[in-house]
Structure 1
């Protein structure tokens, strides 16, 4: 556990110590532990180069049934995807821990920029920790961006993050347009409701775990914002909840994982669902993923789109996004409990 004034303990350091058992604070309650096998199905794969009608139809099905899908032919150069993964891996694997800790973020503050391990604010003794380290970057709007807070090794690190963030923002805008159109809305409907994107890019590193059957790399949750775009290496470990079963989102070459988040479920009045997902660990190989989160400003009030309320009334009350974030980080996600609190 991290305590004030102490050098924070990172999961990678624990893994490198070759401890045969995980510390108690990483052991999940029995009902949250991963089962030996997950369902063999994979999340849908959507080819954005198909006809507009086909893409909208496929997106509608995936958003209704899954809240998650892969996209290919998405327009993001493979080189930038590979470079982003490479610089993230280099930070975790090539730098001494003393160098990494220069970027340590404040464990007492939610969503602090920098190098950390704790997702939630609570320091309660019964808080179960994830088997994960991460580096979080504030990338949009540009007024939040300060590359001096990011690593300068390897030398192209900062340039790659800037380029990657630009491509992810453009793809998020394109996808929200397609999602809006698939509901018969104007292409700008969801993006207009969200407002200016607050984009964070988080590189997550999941070290090998001596007892993967007892731990999670990232606990079950749905993302709090509008839309998340994620790439993962070939190790795999992302799981999506579908009809009460955990389905492994198998890594797919050149594909980007799309996860609908809670505010999009609210804006679509529940016609489309945010994806409950988690990350599992394994005993043999480290895993790396990069998530680009696209969220509203904390001053934004999010509510169902008026065009969708007329059908059956509003299913969610409006919420100040900053209040939603505060609840998510202080209470914990527990699946979708913060979103469920908005249901009418």
Structure 2
């Protein structure tokens, strides 16, 4: 009963604020995230979560089947299969910027436990989660809602946690026992037509590998249409990030994508971002690969560092396209 009364108070605190910054701070100070709003019985979402209508239409029901699904069976043993898979990945990276992989070698039981771990963390009592609530992403583990809370034009209907796995900051025991990976939690939304689970954006790293549950809602922008990436059991979604588009001088595409909010079910996803601390040191210069350049294909992006791009991406927040600001 005390927990329910506290959650109800959270909703009242936010709704009683008379300006946007106070509203944001009140929400942040609760350390309960979107999940606490839902648990508190919110029926009308706060206006800070309102998103403008998107100008791009949704696709037909059949277009989602065009998103490449690449079978990795035998890729490590058969040279012919390996070349075929490489060719398909190259084509998907150039055309779609997104593809799915099957027969990747991770047991289905492991994938299911990963998703359950996300749910276990976010569905804990809010007082337990508050202990690791932080906006300091240098910590071994941090949980919050909307990393760009104070800079975005509209908040997303999701809570997130993150931990750096390679190299691990701190010790394995610094991570909560309930989970040991990075993930997002999208609670049911009473007014999904007014907001987004995640607003349209591209990823700022080199590459993202995503595990999504059965709920769905992930969409990619392709040929000015939003196309559903329907969940397929035991399949991983792979997408190109901004830094890989920069390295390949626009050959591989870092595609905008989003997640819809939904009224009926909570959704979880686990994203592994490869780039800021695993594929390159923070001070390493990143520029288009020289072997891809020619008189007919000069450099299209300015040289930058991983640290500089990461900081710029964070400052811009989701919903923007920071890579365009690095074009020559």
Q: Report the Cα distance in structure 2 between the residues aligned to 1:258 and 1:145, rounded to whole angstroms.
A: 28
3-state SS of paired residue (2:322) = helix
Partner of 1:114: 142
Residue deviations 1:119-145 (CA, integer Å, cap 9, x gap): 21x625x73111001111111113x24
Q: CA deviation at 1:89?
A: 1.3
Q: Report the Cα distance in structure 1 between the residues aligned to 2:115 and 2:243, rounded to whole angstroms.
A: 28
Q: Report the Cα distance in structure 2 between the residues aligned to 1:110 and 1:127, rounded to whole angstroms.
A: 21
Q: Report the Cα distance in structure 2 between the residues aligned to 1:6 and 1:330, rounded to whole angstroms.
A: 21
Q: Report the Cα distance in structure 2 between the residues aligned to 1:211 and 1:4, rounded to whole angstroms.
A: 18
Please list every run of 5 or more consecutive structure 2 residues that lacks an aligned counterpart in the other structure: 1-23, 75-80
Partner of 2:110: 80
97, 100, 112: which is aligned to 1:67? 97
Q: CA deviation at 1:286?
A: 0.5
8 A Cα contact 2:160 2:183, kept in partner: yes
296, 302, 305: which is aligned to 1:320? 305
Q: CA deviation at 1:202?
A: 2.3
8 A Cα contact 1:2 1:8, kept in partner: no
Partner of 1:148: 173
1:341 lines up with 2:321 in the alignment: no
Please list every run of 5 or more consecutive structure 1 residues that lacks an aligned counterpart in the other structure: 162-200
Structure number with the bigger relative contact order (C-alpha 8 A, sep ≥ 6) is 1
Q: CA deviation at 1:330?
A: 1.2
1:256 lines up with 2:236 in the alignment: yes
- Cα root mean square deviation, aligned: 2.2
Q: CA deviation at 1:5?
A: 8.9
157, 161, 164: which is aligned to 1:138? 164
8 A Cα contact 1:110 1:329, kept in partner: no
Q: CA deviation at 1:118?
A: 1.7
3-state SS of paired residue (1:58) = helix
Q: CA deviation at 1:31?
A: 3.4
194, 209, 214: which is aligned to 1:234? 214
Q: Report the Cα distance in structure 2 between the residues aligned to 1:217 and 1:283, rounded to whole angstroms.
A: 11
Residue deviations 1:13-39 (CA, integer Å, cap 9, x gap): 11122222110000012337x96x544
13, 16, 39: which is aligned to 1:16? 39
Change (3 A) 1:145 1:252: farther
- Structure-2-length-normalised TM-score: 0.82
8 A Cα contact 2:247 2:288, kept in partner: yes
8 A Cα contact 1:44 1:62, kept in partner: yes
8 A Cα contact 2:32 2:130, kept in partner: no
Change (3 A) 1:333 1:91: closer
Q: CA deviation at 1:90?
A: 1.2
Compare 280-289 and 51-60 and name the one that shifted more: 51-60
Partner of 2:25: 2
3-state SS of paired residue (1:74) = coil
- The within-5 A match list for 1:8-47 is 8-31=31-54, 37-40=58-61, 41-42=63-64, 43-47=67-71
Change (3 A) 1:236 1:309: same
Q: Report the Cα distance in structure 1 between the residues aligned to 2:290 and 2:133, rounded to whole angstroms.
A: 43
8 A Cα contact 1:39 1:245, kept in partner: no
Partner of 1:90: 120
**Bigger CA radius of gyration:** 2
1:101 lines up with 2:81 in the alignment: no
Change (3 A) 1:5 1:269: closer
1:204 lines up with 2:184 in the alignment: yes
Q: CA deviation at 1:9?
A: 3.9
